[in-house]
Amino acid sequence: MTKLKPETTLTNAFPKNRKALIGFVTAGDPSFEQSVAEILTLAQAGTDIIEIGIPFSDPVADGPVIQAADLRAFAAGMTTERVFELVTAVRQKSQVPLALLVYLNNVFKYGYERFFKRCAELQIGGLIIPDLPAEERAEVLPFAQKYGCALIPLVAPTSGKRIPQVVAGTSGFVYAVSSMGVTGTREEIKTNLTKMLAQIRQATDLPIAVGFGIHTAKQAADVAAIADGVIVGSAIVQLIAAKDETVSDKLDHYVRELKAAIN
């Protein structure tokens, strides 16, 4: 296993000569074994970073597709500890860069020190914590820094003058939220992303990946033209939810289509 700080694996996934693809799955959806297989399929197809969602009972940033995935994962017995066991199983076969999408209560309940230590042991590069405001980040940041795990900031279309504060002290990459509201596919992204990304770049040198709503190859290509990476979540979760016997083939094809579009 690499001796790099875990957060470095995320930044290194954004080479200057191409754009990064970040894919999302909910841990344990629809089962532990299938979830491991899905992550390995995404990695083998060329996904540069895989974001693993820890199921939560009140996922305020997530739309109905991912909420349903959380319920399926709970039904399959998924817990925070089982998520770490799942990552352990993935790490036996792949060193793909990983990030966790987790709500703060899960980290708090597990124990900040214990949670970040486990992340470092498993080379988990960073955490996306949607319900952790910048003003409260100091409660968690010392543990993230101690274990070299990035706190990935979420910058919304409404962040505006707060962007320097939102990205201060963070690492890995910036998650730029393309649209107001919750996660889910969108036919049109109305935010002025060019202006928003310019504001972010004035405040940080971190790579910027755009997510929320992106699901077609054309959308991915349009976003990749101005961003360093593209995040696709709900569309992948929908493929998994279909319970098709050819889901691995469909995930592989979908990732390769997106990769070709963004590069």
- Set 7, 38, 62, 228: catalytic member: 62
Confirm whether pTM is higher than 0.85. Answer: yes
Domain positions in the chain are: 6-262
Q: Identify the pLDDT of residue 190.
A: 57
What is the dotted CATH code of the domain comprising 6-262? 3.20.20.70
Q: Identify the pLDDT of residue 93.
A: 98
User: 23-27, 168-172, 193-197 — which one is most confidently predicted on average?
Assistant: 23-27
Q: Identify the pLDDT of residue 56.
A: 87
- Set 48, 51, 70, 222: catalytic member: 51
Looking at every residue in the chain, the average pLDDT score rounds to: 91
* CB-based contacts of 249, cutoff 8 Å, min separation 6: none
CA angle 144, 149, 155 (to 5 degrees): 85
For 201-235, the pLDDT digits (tens) are: 999 999 999 998 899 999 999 999 999 999 998 99
For 108-131, the pLDDT digits (tens) are: 999 999 999 999 999 999 999 999
184 pLDDT band, cuts 50/70/90, is: very low
Q: How many C-beta atoms surround the C-beta of residue 27 within 10 A?
A: 29
Q: Identify the pLDDT of residue 63.
A: 73
Catalytic site residue 252? no
Query: What number is the average pLDDT over the span 27-42?
Result: 96
Catalytic site residue 51? yes
Q: Identify the pLDDT of residue 189.
A: 61
